[in-house]
């Protein structure tokens, strides 16, 4: 019972501090783009700030994406953001970014995934400035678990849009963290250079959800208490 009490207390604390919201209004989308600019153009210089407008980072994929924000309840600030690039509707659509970033050998495996049911997780961003601004002990305790809320938001999007496969280009440290949450991604080939060393990977959405459910992970407990995955 001690273990149950522990995760119930943790989840209660997490919900007091953070809220996952769909960025489905102009104001919330603007907040996601502003946060991405802070992370991708200011803190890390992954993208050229001179190519962005009014301190908002955007690209060609945003119009076919669904975005989530993790809001810090006490301050009202966006703690993090993530987007799911939805499958293309026809052969004229841009290929997913992972297909552009990877080499021909990795393409072979990616081509086996059905394009009309394959999406991509990208623009996972948590600002260093936000982390530094969190000085309360309970706030700082929650920071290491920010990923739970953002990936819950991404999985909700996948289920709503009937996405069967999800791919991503991620740091291996993030892949290991997701595995501890019961989200086991299959790696595709070797590391590539994309905003630093990154690992192309993919997973079947239903298997991700069932794996987290079977292990009774914090992510599953959080998701099952607040929404229907």
Model confidence pLDDT, tens digit, residues 11-31 = 888 888 899 999 999 999 999
pLDDT of res. 229: 61
Predicted confidence (pLDDT) per residue in 146-166, tens digit: 888 899 999 999 999 999 999
pLDDT of res. 193: 87
Q: Is the pLDDT of residue 122 over 50?
A: yes
Tokens 């595995």 belong to 179
Q: Is the pLDDT of residue 90 over 70?
A: no
Please tell me whether the overall predicted TM-score, pTM, comes out greater than 0.85 for this model: yes
pLDDT of res. 226: 57
Domain that holds residue 70: 2-226
196-202 mean pLDDT:
93
Q: Is the pLDDT of residue 2 over 60?
A: no
Instruction: Say how many domains are in the chain.
Output: 1
Rg of the chain over all Cα atoms, to the nearest angstrom: 17
Q: What CATH number is attached to the domain comprising 117? A: 3.40.630.30
94-119 mean pLDDT:
82
Contact 94, 122 (CB under 8 A): no
pLDDT of res. 91: 60
- Measured CA to CA, the distance from residue 202 to residue 209 in angstroms comes to 14
- Report the range of poorest mean pLDDT among 15-19, 41-45, 70-74, 224-228: 224-228
pLDDT of res. 163: 96
> Which has more pLDDT, 82 or 74?
82
The 3-state secondary structure of the chain reads CHHHHHHHHHHHHHHHHEEEEECCCHHHHHHHHHHHHHHHHHHCCCCCHHHCECCECCCCCHHHEEEEEEEECCCCCEEEEEEEECCCCCCCCCCCHHHHHCCHHHHHHHCCCCHHHEEEEEEEEECHHHHHHCCCHHHHHHHCCHHHHHHHHHHHHHHHCCCCEEEEEECHHHHHHHHHCCCCCEECCCCEECCCEEEEEEEEHHHHHHHHHHHCCHHHHHHHHHCCC
pLDDT of res. 1: 35
Please, what is the average pLDDT of the chain?
Answer: 87
Tokens 């192309």 belong to 200
pLDDT of res. 106: 64
The proportion of the chain whose per-residue pLDDT surpasses 90, expressed as a percent, equals 50
């Amino acid at each position: 019972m001690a273990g149950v009490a522990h995760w119930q207390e943790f989840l209660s604390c997490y919900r007091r501090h953070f809220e996952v919201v769909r960025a489905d209004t102009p104001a919330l989308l603007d907040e996601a783009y502003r946060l991405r600019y802070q992370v991708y153009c200011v803190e890390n210089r992954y993208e050229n700030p001179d190519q962005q407008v009014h301190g908002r980072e955007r690209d060609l994929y945003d119009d076919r994406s669904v975005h989530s924000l993790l809001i810090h309840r006490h301050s009202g600030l966006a703690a993090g953001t993530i987007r799911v690039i939805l499958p293309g509707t026809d052969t004229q659509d841009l290929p997913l970014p992972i297909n552009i970033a990877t080499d021909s050998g990795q393409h072979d495996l990616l081509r086996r995934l059905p394009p009309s049911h394959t999406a991509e997780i990208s623009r996972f961003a948590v600002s260093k400035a936000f982390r530094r601004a969190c000085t309360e002990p309970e706030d700082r305790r929650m920071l290491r678990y920010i990923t739970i809320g953002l990936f819950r938001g991404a999985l909700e999007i996948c289920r709503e849009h009937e996405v069967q496969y999800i791919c991503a280009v991620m740091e291996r440290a993030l892949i290991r963290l997701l595995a501890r949450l019961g989200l086991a991604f299959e790696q595709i080939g070797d590391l590539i250079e994309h905003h630093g060393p990154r690992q192309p990977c993919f997973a079947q959405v239903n298997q991700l959800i069932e794996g987290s459910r079977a292990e009774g992970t914090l992510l599953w407990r959080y998701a099952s208490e607040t929404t229907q995955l």
